[in-house]
Amino acid sequence: MKLKQLLTAIPYRAENVPDLDICDLVYDSRLTVPGCAFVCLRGANSDGHKYAAMAVEKGAVAVIAEEPVDVDVPVILTENTRLALAYLSAEFFGHPANDLKVIGITGTKGKTTTAFMMRAILEAAGHKTGVIGTIGVLYGDTLIQTDNTTPENYQVQKFLRQMADAGCEYCVMEVSSIGLKDHRVAGFTFDLGLFTNFSEDHIGGAEHKDMAEYMACKSLLFRMCRTGIINIDDPNWQGIVREHTCALVTYGYDEAADMVAHGDELITTPGFLGVRFSVSGKLNFTADVAIPGKFNVYNALCAITACSVLDIPVEAMQAGLRAVKVKGRVEPVEMPGDFTLLIDYAHNAVSMESILTTLRAYNPKRLVCMFGAGGNRPKVRRYEMGEVSGRLADLSVITADNSRYENVLDIIEDIKVGMHKTDGKYIEIPDRREAIRWCIENAQPGDIIVLAGKGHEDYQEIEGKKYPFDERVVIREILDSLKK
């Protein structure tokens, strides 16, 4: 693309803009490709302006910066390079957000789950749908791992382009407050913005100064979308939609909402744990959701309300929610016996408390929790996890989980310190594969077994190396060997 064409996307100052071809936009000097334009970003750790000369040495043919830099290629000055990168990227990738409908989800909890519910419903209605979020970028059979829940704006535009070119009609994206603060989703308008809930999180360090800033950042989404889908049971919803510029459609148990939930109940059959609830208001029907926990009524209602604005048929909403799975988040694995086996990402005390409490509500014959703890991480996490599992599970199976540079047996000793504060029953099986095998071989009818810690991860990290370890594959191998 011509530099002049690219620059139509932003306000800038430059002496003369030469007639240059730009092959890519790069904002990390280490990734410079010859013929690119290098964009200097001021970051949390360092200042990209320092790396402009290095980028030029490696072949950058123009630099976009907030202040003059000493290089012998054209320097384009603009006030905010992070914001500029968003608009430049949208221009560079041909404004992909015009080629598909983009749905953004913000909130402290429930973003990933709601995103996958949206995808399940939209795909049940026959619409190919991509997802960008904590689990990575997913469309069709493609899964790309990413560092952030909401990637850098250049990557967002690139992924949207890839999805549109692959025939996606929708992209559902998790929009973190940091992503909003850092202009990672600037440069286009969301068709829908979804709000799940708001509570304390992400305060301090390189994240938010205080709760007021956290809320202000979240509220930005409702100035960047056409319609906002809002949970009015959340006590903070009015703060979130202050200064909104979009239409609002509301949901909640509150009768004043446009879409109202009522009559929820937990449902369980072997291999299926979920919630059932009824909807009234704009639509009237009953939905079964294949992810346990009453809070999933909120996530499902949010997805239903959003899909109603998109005119998706009720049958697709019911089918999508009945089948939805989120990789590694209370993910059921089909088993031959009369028990339920789940893979979950819980790897600290808070998430373990949440998952075990949620599963307890289903009155299992026994709740079995298999878990380990990461090496080279604070020991307090191990004590706490041991204590939570000891208190809430009927049986804990203590094993390995990313031991890194530590000895698994030492980590297990730490977990036992917490375990011994309770009268919880436990066994130790340091090899994670063997621990899974033991859980399967010793399962009793009516048990709920949760393999905690790995979730969507497909490796074990030992001594600085990542060894393949996808629990779905491991379970299949164990089941095959048991058949023989």
Q: Which residue in the set 96, 110, 274, 364 belongs to the binding site for ligand ATP (CB under 6 A)?
A: 110
> Phi/psi class of residue 178: alpha, beta or left (left: φ > 0; alpha: ψ in -120 to 50)?
alpha
Residue closer to ligand ATP, measured from CB, 157 or 196: 196
> Does 354 belong to an annotated binding site?
no
Can residue 152 be called a binding residue for ligand UAG (CB under 6 A)?
A: yes
For the chain, the C-alpha Rg in angstroms (whole number) is: 24
Whole-number minimum distance, CB 16 to ligand UAG, in Å?
26
Q: Which residue in the set 12, 253, 295, 362 belongs to the binding site for ligand ATP (CB under 6 A)?
A: 295
Residue closer to ligand UAG, measured from CB, 78 or 318: 78
Residue closer to ligand UAG, measured from CB, 62 or 257: 62
Please identify, among the stretches 15-23, 149-157, 267-275, 279-287, the one whose residues bind ligand UAG according to the rule CB under 6 A: 149-157
Can residue 46 be called a binding residue for ligand UAG (CB under 6 A)?
A: yes
481 contact choice in ligand ATP, ligand UAG, none (CB below 5 to 8 Å, kind-dependent) = none
45 contact choice in ligand UAG, ligand ATP, none (CB below 5 to 8 Å, kind-dependent) = ligand UAG
Whole-number minimum distance, CB 197 to ligand ATP, in Å?
5
Please identify, among the stretches 45-53, 285-293, 378-386, 411-419, the one whose residues bind ligand UAG according to the rule CB under 6 A: 45-53
Non-local (6+) Cβ contacts of 461 within 8 A are 402, 403, 404, 467
Whole-number minimum distance, CB 451 to ligand ATP, in Å?
15
Can residue 197 be called a binding residue for ligand ATP (CB under 6 A)?
A: yes
> Does 148 belong to an annotated binding site?
yes
> Does 176 belong to an annotated binding site?
yes
Q: Which residue in the set 17, 77, 178, 248 belongs to the binding site for ligand UAG (CB under 6 A)?
A: 178
Handedness of CA 76, 80, 86, 90 (dihedral sign): negative
Q: Which residue in the set 80, 148, 236, 348 belongs to the binding site for ligand UAG (CB under 6 A)?
A: 148
> Does 107 belong to an annotated binding site?
yes
Q: Which residue in the set 150, 157, 196, 227 belongs to the binding site for ligand UAG (CB under 6 A)?
A: 150
Cβ(153)–Cβ(187) under 8 Å? Answer: yes
Can residue 43 be called a binding residue for ligand UAG (CB under 6 A)?
A: yes
Give residues 144-163 in contact with ligand ATP (rule: CB under 6 A).
Answer: 149
> Does 81 belong to an annotated binding site?
no
Residue closer to ligand UAG, measured from CB, 81 or 308: 81
Please identify, among the stretches 25-33, 189-197, 250-258, 417-425, the one whose residues bind ligand UAG according to the rule CB under 6 A: 25-33
Q: How far apart are CA 484 and CA 482, in angstroms?
A: 5
Residue closer to ligand UAG, measured from CB, 48 or 136: 48
Q: Give how many residues touch ligand ATP by CB under 6 A.
A: 15
Please identify, among the stretches 110-118, 140-148, 392-400, 441-449, the one whose residues bind ligand ATP according to the rule CB under 6 A: 110-118
Q: Which residue in the set 7, 10, 29, 390 belongs to the binding site for ligand UAG (CB under 6 A)?
A: 29
> Does 29 belong to an annotated binding site?
yes
> Does 149 belong to an annotated binding site?
yes
197 contact choice in ligand UAG, ligand ATP, none (CB below 5 to 8 Å, kind-dependent) = ligand ATP
HEC sequence for the chain? CEHHHHHCCCCCECCCCCCCECCCEECCHHHCCCCCEEECCECCCCEHHHHHHHHHHCCCCEEEECCCCCCCCCEEECCCHHHHHHHHHHHHCCCHHHCCEEEEEECCCCHHHHHHHHHHHHHHCCCCEEEEECCEEEECCEEECCCCCCCCHHHHHHHHHHHHHCCCCEEEEECCHHHHHCCCCCCCCEEEEEECCCCCCCECCCCECCHHHHHHHHHHHHHCEEEEEEECCCCCHHHHCCCCCCEEEEEECCCCCCEEEEEEEEEEECCEEEEEEEEEECCCEEEEECCCCCHHHHHHHHHHHHHHHCCCCHHHHHHHHHHCCECCECEEECCCCCCEEEEECCCCHHHHHHHHHHHHCCCCCCEEEEECCCCCCCHHHHHHHHHHHHHHCCEEEECCCCCECCCHHHHHHHHHHHHCCCCCCEEECCCHHHHHHHHHHCCCCCCEEEEECCCCCCEEEECCEEEECCHHHHHHHHHHHHHC
Q: How far apart are CA 55 and CA 30, in angstroms?
A: 8
> Does 268 belong to an annotated binding site?
no
Tell me the binding residues. Answer: 29, 107-113, 148-150, 176, 184
Please report, as ranges, the residues that interact with ligand UAG according to CB under 6 A: 27-30, 41, 43-46, 48, 51, 147-150, 152, 176, 178-179, 206-207
Please report, as ranges, the residues that interact with ligand ATP according to CB under 6 A: 109-113, 134, 149, 174, 196-197, 295, 298-299, 329, 354
